[in-house]
Structures are given as structure tokens and as C-alpha cells.
Amino acid sequence: MAEEEVRAAAKDKLVVIVDDDESVRELLQFVVGKEGFRVETASDGEEAIRKIPELMPDLVILDMMLPRYGGFEVLRQLQAGPTGSIPIVIITGRYTDRSTMEMIRRESNVKEFMEKPVRPPVLGMLLHKLLNTAPPMPGASAGGF
């Protein structure tokens, strides 16, 4: 299939997850890893602002409610310089009114806005779509050697 040939391997893509809730971070890390992607995490905005420019990931999953720089501040910082082209998927556990959601979606690097609880199959499909990768084959080892 020609379409399969142009897709990148998920194992070649790095996703950074930024969430201060350890259980959510671990769940997202599991889901993203199961889809075959490499994963790094940050537990607050300050760590995210430090790590993301160093790692230059292929995508960032960003919680909006963070200690030490909130999600908006992290988003703004990532829009400057070489990190400005990194796609960002926003997740939030807080109710967000429609106008705020639309404002966030209009940010240049925001590709999607999801509310918690995030549904793993939906997140997996979204990541593969945004990063032009194929989901792992059923029964295949996602973290293979």
C-alpha cells in the first residue's frame, strides 16, 4: 500500500506529556507508549518549559492546569522560536466554556482540545493522525527492540 509507505514509524516519534497529576500522567504515558511512541514526561509548567526545547519532541500533550507556569504560559512559551512548530494537544479536567475552548483552539500550535477523562482509543487515533504514523499491529510488541 502506498499510504503505508509514507507513514513514519511511531517508534521514531517522541511525545512529551505534561500533567501534574501523577496517575493521569502515568495513564497517558501507558497509552502513548502502547501506541508505539517514545514518551517523556514533565510534572509542571517549569519542567515543561525546560525540557521541551531540549528534547524537541514531535508532539506535546499539555494539561492546562499546572503548578509553576500554567498551561497558557507554557503554550505561549512554546510558540516562540524553534518550538513554535511542535503540535500541541490540550487536555483539561476543568469545565471549559465554548468561547475559551475556541480561543485555545485558535492558537497556532494547538491541534486538538480534549477534556478529561481522555478516552485511550480516541487519543491513540489522534496521535497517529497528527504524526502520520500507523497504529501497531494487533499482537505486535509496541515497545519492541
Say what the pTM is.
Answer: 0.88
Q: Is 19 exposed, middle or buried (0-12, 13-18, 19+ CB in 10 A)?
A: buried
pLDDT score at 145: 39
What residue spans define the domains of the chain? 9-130
pLDDT surpassing 50 at residue 102: yes
* CATH of the domain spanning 9-130: 3.40.50.2300
Per-residue model confidence as pLDDT tens digits over 34-72: 999 999 999 999 999 999 999 999 999 999 999 989 998
Environment class of 98 (CB within 10 Å of its CB; exposed 0-12, middle 13-18, buried 19+)? exposed
For 125, what's the count of Cα atoms within 13 Å in the CB-facing half-sphere? 6
Mean pLDDT of 93-115: 80
Q: What is the pLDDT of residue 144?
A: 43
Complete edge-to-edge strand list for the sheet that includes strand 38-42: 38-42, 14-18, 59-63, 88-92, 110-115
